[in-house]
Amino acid sequence: MAMNKNTVLAWATWIMIVVGLILIGLGAFRYNDVAGWGFASVGIGFFAIAWVFNALKGRV
């Protein structure tokens, strides 16, 4: 399987989505104090970066 630019961006997008979901899950279910808000906000940031990676597919 050849890894071109679009394949790398697709893998990066999926990895970012999974990590974002894990961080939001940690913030929602594991930490009940202020740290939970931090984990959830970082998870949302991962979603934003994954969105940018997805938008770059085919353009780079």
SS (H, E, C) the chain: CCCCHHHHHHHHHHHHHHHHHHHHHHHHHHCCCHHHHHHHHHHHHHHHHHHHHHHHCCCC
Number of domains in the chain: 1
- pLDDT tier at 58, thresholds 50, 70, 90: confident
Distance CA 17, CA 57 (A): 16
Instruction: Please write the tens of the pLDDT for every residue from 1-51.
Output: 788 888 888 999 999 999 999 999 999 999 888 899 999 999 999 999 999
Q: So what's the pLDDT on residue 26?
A: 93
Structural domain boundaries, residue 22: 5-56
Q: So what's the pLDDT on residue 33?
A: 87
CA atoms within 13 A on the CB side of 38: 4
Q: So what's the pLDDT on residue 56?
A: 87
